[in-house]
Amino acid sequence: MTEMGVESGRDTRLVNEVPAFLAYLRVEKTASPLTLVSYRTDLDQYLDFMAGFKGMDKTAVPVACIDNLTTRQYIAEMYRHELSRATIARKMAALRSFVRYLCRENLLDGNPIVNISTPRQEKKLPRFLYPMEVRMLLEAPDPKTPGGLRDKAILETLYAAGVRVSELVGINLDDLDLREGWIMILGKGRKQRLAPLGAKSKRAIVNYMDRGRPVLLARNSTSNPALFLNRFGNRLTARSIRNIINKYVEQLALHQKVSPHTFRHSFATHLLNNGADLRSVQELLGHVKLSTTQIYTHLTKDRIKTIHEENHPRR
């Protein structure tokens, strides 16, 4: 016999449902490790709020405590702590997904937060580099050292293929087809796509594989399938890639923040500025929705103005 849609005999404290929810995301939704970490953190903070709001121990908060009122109070609390709209939207996305899971498991009788709207986010245009700045960064690594050869290959790949940093560190040797100039990329949702390489990025990867990677790999007692290795011969992490980029940004005294995603933004912007169509760029970036790619059209206004000036009869 069940009450209010709750399965009989099942311990329905929120703290016990989070691990099962994360396992569901990992297995059935093929969520990335970064997504799982983010959701775990956001839900843990939500449990902290609920415990304080209800005046009970965090481990004792029941599923039934989730309702419209407490969720609105949760949003208000995040505003009081001056969290950005983007952060609030992300935390609410985690909570919405969790609540849908609880409904799916018959632990909630209907979705109590379905009518709560997420704060509208400010539309921020992504940062990008100008071609000269990209060129300076690509030429910064020292090709006389194993690390320099690796860093050169990393930067060239980021710019040539427009890959996400998580995709970059996941590249294995078997994913490369240097003869045809392709990399098999495992993207979000474990979806595969082919990312093209140009002549310069291919050359950088070949030089690294010939003269850099063997030196790094020799520092590890076991073999490693990863393309990009750290100084101990292990797979590089996303944080390591960011540190590598920061090193060259500081070395060149570029007075702006540059991340791996900045290379991705630059890749898309430069393609569009040079005449690539939006759907092709969508395919290259691995975006599911065209609307996600359309943000880059706002960055090409200089190109549009130039075309207008060169071709309009009343220029």
From the candidates 152, 213, 264, 265, which is the catalytic residue? 264
Q: Residue 122: its pLDDT value, please? A: 61
Residue 314 has pLDDT above 70, yes or no: no
Residue 5 has pLDDT above 70, yes or no: no
Q: Residue 255: its pLDDT value, please? A: 82
From the candidates 39, 46, 101, 296, which is the catalytic residue? 296
Cβ distance 205 to 156 under 8 Å? yes
Q: Residue 56: its pLDDT value, please? A: 93
- Annotated active-site residue 255? The verdict is no
From the candidates 193, 211, 287, 303, which is the catalytic residue? 287
Q: Residue 15: its pLDDT value, please? A: 93
Q: Residue 84: its pLDDT value, please? A: 87
Residue 180 has pLDDT above 80, yes or no: yes
Length of the chain: 315
Q: What is the pLDDT of residues 11-40, one digit of tens each?
A: 689 999 999 999 999 998 888 888 899 999
- Annotated active-site residue 188? The verdict is yes
Q: How confident is the model at residue 1 (pLDDT cuts 50, 70, 90)?
A: very low
Q: Residue 6: its pLDDT value, please? A: 45
- Annotated active-site residue 287? The verdict is yes
From the candidates 58, 100, 188, 235, which is the catalytic residue? 188
Nearest to 159 by CA among 277, 270, 256: 270
Q: Alpha helix locations (H) across 29-164?
A: 33-54, 68-80, 85-104, 131-138, 146-161
- Annotated active-site residue 96? The verdict is no
Q: Where in the chain is the domain with CATH 1.10.150?
A: 14-104
Cβ distance 273 to 265 under 8 Å? no
Domain spanning 131-309, CATH architecture: Orthogonal Bundle (1.10)
Provide the terminal-to-terminal Cα distance of the chain, rounded to the nearest Å: 77
d(CA 262, CA 274): 18
β-strands 182-186, 176-177 pairing: antiparallel
- Annotated active-site residue 312? The verdict is no
From the candidates 100, 211, 261, 303, which is the catalytic residue? 261
Residue written as token pair 């294995």: 172
Provide CATH code, domain 14-104: 1.10.150
Q: How confident is the model at residue 295 (pLDDT cuts 50, 70, 90)?
A: confident
- Annotated active-site residue 164? The verdict is yes
Percent of the chain with pLDDT over 90: 66
From the candidates 150, 152, 164, 202, which is the catalytic residue? 164
Q: What is the mean pLDDT of residues 240-247?
A: 96
Q: Where in the chain is the domain with CATH 1.10.443.10?
A: 131-309
Q: What is the pLDDT of residues 68-103, one digit of tens each?
A: 999 999 999 999 999 988 899 999 999 999 999 999
